[in-house]
Each structure stands twice: as structure tokens, then as C-alpha cells.
Amino acid sequence: MKILVCISKTPDTTAKIAFTDNNTKFDANGVQWIINPYDEWYSLVRAIELKETDPSTVIHLVTVAAADADPIIRKALALGGDEAIRVNADSHDSFYIASQIAEVAKQGGYDLVFTGKETIDYNGSSIGGMVAELLDLPYISLATKFEISANKATVTREIEGGEEVAEANLPLVVSCQKGMAEQRIPNMKGIMGARTKPLKVQEPVAVDPLTAVAGFELPPAKAGVKLVDAENVDELVRLLHEEAKAI
Amino acid sequence: MSVLIFIDTTDGHVKKATLEALSYGSKIAAQMGTVAEGVVLGNVQDDLASLGKYGVTKIHQVTADALSQPDAQVYCKVLAEVATAIGATVIVFSNNLNGKAIAPRLSARLKAGLVSGAVALPDTSNGFVVKKNVFSGKAFANISVTTAVKIISLNPNAYQVIAGEGTATVAAFATSVSAGAIKVTSSSKASGDVPLTEAEVVVSAGRGMKGPENWGMVEDLAKVLHAATACSRPVADAHWRPHHEHVGQTGIAIAPNLYIAIGISGAIQHLAGVNRSKVIVVINKDPEAPFFKAADYGIVGDAFDIVPKFTAAVKKIKGIA
């Protein structure tokens, strides 16, 4: 089985969010970059587990990013994966990125494409669905469990207020979320090995983006907390009822 | 030219998030001087014509054996047929589970720019610009859609339901789509619970509850408020509560009218998932808990003492014996 795992570079979850150039660009000053947690903890680790069960499994990583994403890809390779492909492009349009991933997927002939459920920066939740459509493949979104037997995948996914189990034959695109796997820390052997794993850089195919970022805004600051005495819970409920009109 | 709104249903009933999408889509249609129409897949128990009061003039209903499985690939093909047939220039989804599964596919199929997680009406004064949440609720981006057909998926609880007068005509739409590749073999739902993403009130608790055996008082409070229950990441990781209750940056992002956080310190990752809530109440015994900085109301004190009093006070105000 050949798995393509989509990797995205995002600011650390604790990063301070600020913008420059008249609020049109993300201020990367002092920001730590990480592998998008959904890509790392769930889709990549689940792919690694599948390889541990069946060592003939091949895992390729793909990212659509400029060269500054290379340390992130090396970290992903340190966790696991046989080789990585970086499509050398910098874009925030989901369709552009999905089109590049779909092109890589077509060239590689994968049985399975894993994405995270969303990136923690643009929160689009779009790449998996778009890649599936571009490849004309079935798509199971927001998976919490993934099992494979012969050519058939059994996937548990979230539904409102519960979950359902769906089956589909490979090839398949799946977006992964919490429940799929547990976060891992790369070990020394993995880190050393990652240095020599292939990281192929290829140029993007020509695609017209469908959207553009016109600008950013920060949410208005909170007015400040109104503290109520612990002995006077009735007063809090009165405020919520009469002032905030929330109860 | 028209606005097409996807009517999402569960167990034959129209979802609350859909009423928001209908109200939102109808407002866009009014803004653009055109009509709003709905599309529903499968049979529905609710009276579709009455959805006209949210502003749609016509509802296209597609029933076909191929739609019996919840397969985004099949749904997408049918929606593309409907959108093309009526010449839709804006297509609206709710940014819920089905919206996340279908809207991106439709975007790629129709080469229609998608804004997912929209929080406001589009600004059409200069092009077509839609505000959406980015950085997990820590900021907004204004996204310019440059294609002829535009798709918006609207965040739940981001736009108010507006009910007026009116009845929609319901018309059958014929499709020749064939069955998809996905087969659902089982599903389970926690009965009676309010779905977290649709809940107007959420009662959430963290490590301060000391253990899963103490959640009874949290559930009691949630019950009198008709609220959904949620939890912080450490609580879900410790298996005190199910994973689907975990709200925060790596869990579910929510935007209820009222979010009550009990014994949660308010790490930045947690705040990212809840800071779009309209009113935030924090109960924590540590006055230095960072959550107080993001809260509207707070009580510094022992949750075990305060929560039962909170429940009693709500009962009193609501006249529940």
C-alpha cells in the first residue's frame, strides 16, 4: 500500500497572532513553526502505525510551500515516512494547494491520501475534499478511526452528536482528527535517519487560484471581566439574565 | 443568477444551522437583487414549504436511491447539477460536518472560490469579499473570491435566524446520478444531547473537577440551561470525558451565545476554540487563571461550592421547581 500524507507548516499553537504591511501579511517575527497538529498527530502517526503493521507500506509526504518549510518536513520524516515531496510554491488558496497535491497524487499512484481535518492557521477544512474531487475519488472526512483489511477501509467518522462507521474500497482520501492516533515524539534514530531520506523539490503546475486574502483583522479586545463574589451566585445569574441576556 | 442554499438534515429534520444558512443566503440574494432558493437531498419529515419564511422562494428536492448513503462525492455531483441548472452564482452551506465534506468538493468541481467558516455577509461594494475566522479564532481574514460562482460555508451561530412570512414552492429535481463508493454500516448517537456545535449554551469543565465522578453537577447545570457539555483537552486526554466533547484549538471550535468554563485555566489553545462565544463566564478558584482575561463574567471560588448554587439560581429564575 502506498500512502500520501499531506503536511502543512503552521505557527505554533501558542504563537501570538499579529499582522504587518497594513494588515495584509501575517507577522512571522518571532513565530515558531510546527507541523500542523492534525497532520502530525493524527494523519502522519496513523500512517506510521499502518506501516508498522504492514512493513511493505510506503509513506510519502507532500507539502506545498517555499524552502523555509524544509525543517518542518525533516521533522515529519524523523517521525516516519520514506520520502517527501515539496512543491515549491507559496499560496494560501486552498484550490491552488489542493491542485498541486492532486498532481503529486496522480504521479505517484497512491492507494490512500491522508490530510489533517484542517490547518490551525487558515482553518479551511478544504484540502481533503478538493483533492478527492480533483482525483474523482471517494472522501471520508473527519475520521476518528481507520482500519484496513485487504483493499477495504473501515473508517469511523464524526457525525453531529455521535459517530458512524463507513466502508469504502481503496483508493480513498481521508481527513483525520483526534482519535486516529496519539502524538509521538521523534526518537534519535528517526532524527538521524531523516537527514538522508529523499526530499524532492518539484515546481508547481500552472493553476489559477480561486480566492485571495484581501486583509486581516484582529478581534476587538474584551471590555474586561466583571467579577462576582463567590457568596453571591444569584447575582451572576441575574447579570446573565438581565444584562447579558444570555440565560 | 440566484443564491442556492444547501438544506442540511439529520434523521429527516432540518438542522438549526440550516435556518441560519437560509436567513444568511436570503440576505445575500436581497443584497444582490436576486432570489434565494434551497436544495434538499432525500426525503424530509419537516414541512419544506414553510422554510419560505426564512426567505427562500423555491426548494429543489432531489430524491434518488443513490442518495441513501451519506457520500460527499454523490452529493457534490447532484448539487453541481442543481446549481448549474438554476444558474446559481452564490452557493451557501453551513460550515458543519456535511458542509465541510461537500463544499470543498463542489468548489473544485465548479472551479468556484470557497470561503469556509464565514462569519459575516459578503461585502459586495468592491468585488466579493467575505470575512472568515482564521488562526483558530484568534483573527479574521477578508477573503476575496474572484470566480463567477462563489461558495460560502457559514460558521454555526455566526448569523442570526431571521423568520418572516412566506411559503416556498417545492419542486422535484430529477437526477441520473449513480450510487457512490461509500457504505455506512453503523451509526450511534448520544440520544437527547444537544450537539456541541449547534448549542446556544455550553457548559464546559476542566481538570479543576478533579475526576470524572464529579461531572454530575456539570451535567445538572447543563440540563437546566438546555446546554451541551464540553471539556478541556487534559480531561479528554485522561479519558474523563469522550473526545467529541473536547473544545479548543485541536478539538472542536464553538461559538455559542453563552460559554461557562468551570475549573479550566484558559490556556491559549483552549481559548482559540471558544473565544468566538458571545458571553464567557469563568469559574475558577485561581484568581490568576488566564481565562479571566478573556471572560465577561467571573467568580473566583470553589467549583464544588459554586456550581450547585448556580444550578439552583438558574432554576429559580426559570421557575423550575
pLDDT in tens, B21-77: 999 999 999 999 999 999 999 999 999 999 999 999 999 999 999 999 999 999 999
Looking at the partner chain, which of B195, B225, B279 has a beta carbon nearest the beta carbon of A244? B279
Within this chain, do residues B168 and B200 fall inside the same structural domain, yes or no?
no
| Residue A156 at interface with chain B, using a CB cutoff of 8 Å | no
Which one of A122, A155, A216, A239 makes the best mutation probe of the B interface by having the most chain B beta carbons within 10 Å? A122
Give tens-digit pLDDT for A61-83: 999 999 999 999 999 999 999 99
Does residue B190 have a pLDDT over 90?
A: no
pLDDT at A236: 96
- What CATH number does the domain containing A132 carry? 3.40.50.620
Using one digit for the tens of pLDDT, what is the confidence trace for B222-259? 999 999 999 999 999 999 998 889 999 888 889 999 99
Which residue does chain B place closest to A133, by CA atoms?
A: B105
| Sheet strands (E) in A36-183 | 58-65, 83-88, 112-116, 139-149, 152-159, 162-169, 172-176
Quick one: which of A131, A121, A113, A118 has its CA closest to A158? Answer: A118
pLDDT reported for residue B191: 60
- Residue A141 belongs to some domain of the structure: yes
B33 and B84 inside one domain:
yes
The mean predicted confidence, pLDDT, of chain A is: 95
In angstroms, the CA A66 to CA A63 distance is 9
pLDDT of residue B197: 84
Of B95, B105, B113, the CB nearest to A129: B105
Residue with cell 470524572: B212
Determine, yes or no, domain membership for B179: no
Q: What is the CA radius of gyration of chain A?
A: 21
Could you tell me if residue B141 is left (phi over 0), alpha (psi between -120 and 50 degrees) or otherwise beta?
Answer: beta
pLDDT digits (tens, 9 = 90+) for A169-184: 999 999 999 889 999 9
Of the listed ranges A96-100, B194-198, B222-226, the one predicted with least confidence? B194-198
| Dihedral of alpha carbons B126, B131, B134, B140, sign | positive
Show Cβ contacts of residue B125 under 8 Å, excluding neighbours closer than 6 positions: none
Which residue segment(s) compose the domain that B92 sits in? Answer: 2-172
Which residue on chain B is closest to A153 by alpha carbon?
B182
Query: Nearest Cα to A180, choosing from A114, A229, A128?
Result: A114
Strands, E assignment, B225-288: 228-231, 258-262, 279-284
For residue B224, the one-letter residue type is V
Q: CB-CB: which of A138, A216, A230 is closest to B299?
A: A230
- On the question of pLDDT at B193 being above 70, the answer is no
Cβ contact, residue pair B135, A134, below 8 Å: no
Q: Is the pLDDT of residue B117 over 70?
A: yes
Per-residue cell: B269? 489553545
Backbone angles phi, psi at B297, to 5 degrees: -130, 150
Count of CB atoms situated within 10 Å of the CB of B89: 20
Domain with A142 in it: 2-219
| Domain final residue pick, B172, B205, B225 | B172
CATH number of the domain where residue B266 is located: 3.40.50.1220
Task: Report the DSSP pairing between strands B150-154 and B183-189.
Answer: unpaired
Query: Is A228 among the domain residues?
Result: no
| Each residue's pLDDT tens digit, A36-50 | 999 999 999 999 999
CB-CB under 8 Å, A41 with B107: no
The count of domains in chain A is 1
> What pLDDT, on a 0 to 100 scale, did the predictor assign at position B249?
85
Distance CA B60, CA A17 (A): 43
Single out the residue of B141, B145, B122 nearest to residue B132, CA to CA.
Answer: B141
Is residue B189 included in any domain, yes or no? no
In a domain, B262, yes or no: yes
What is the reported pLDDT for B192? Answer: 59
Q: Round the average pLDDT of chain B to a whole number and report it.
A: 95
Q: What is the CATH number of the domain that holds B16?
A: 3.40.50.620
* pLDDT of amino acid B195: 79
- Do the Cβ atoms of A214 and B278 come closer than 8 Å? no
Are A234 and B316 inside 8 Å of each other by CB? yes
| Residue whose grid cell is 481507520 | A146
pLDDT of residue B288: 96
User: Is position B158 within any domain?
Assistant: yes
User: How many Cβ contacts (< 8 angstroms) between chains A and B?
Assistant: 282
Checking if the pLDDT of B198 tops 90, the result is no
Contact B107 A233 (CB under 8 A): no
- How far is the C-alpha of B75 from the C-alpha of B68, rounded, in Å? 10
| Residue-level pLDDT at B136 | 86
- Does residue A111 belong to the interface with chain B, where contact is any CB pair within 8 Å? no
pLDDT at B11: 87
For the cut 80, the answer to whether the pLDDT of residue A206 exceeds it is: yes
ipTM given for this complex: 0.95
Kindly state whether residue B182 falls inside one of the protein's structural domains. Answer: no
Q: Could you give the percent of chain B with pLDDT greater than 70?
A: 99
| Plot region of B205 (φ>0 → left; ψ -120 to 50 → alpha; else → beta) | beta
Same structural domain for residues B167 and B215?
A: no
pLDDT digit string, tens, across residues B86-102: 999 999 999 999 999 99
Cβ–Cβ contact A169 with B under 8 A = yes
CB contact under 8 A, B139 and A238: no
Closest partner CB to B138 (pick from A17, A98, A212): A17
Count of domains forming chain B: 2
Q: Which of A67, A12, A21, A18 is nearest to A40 (CA)?
A: A12
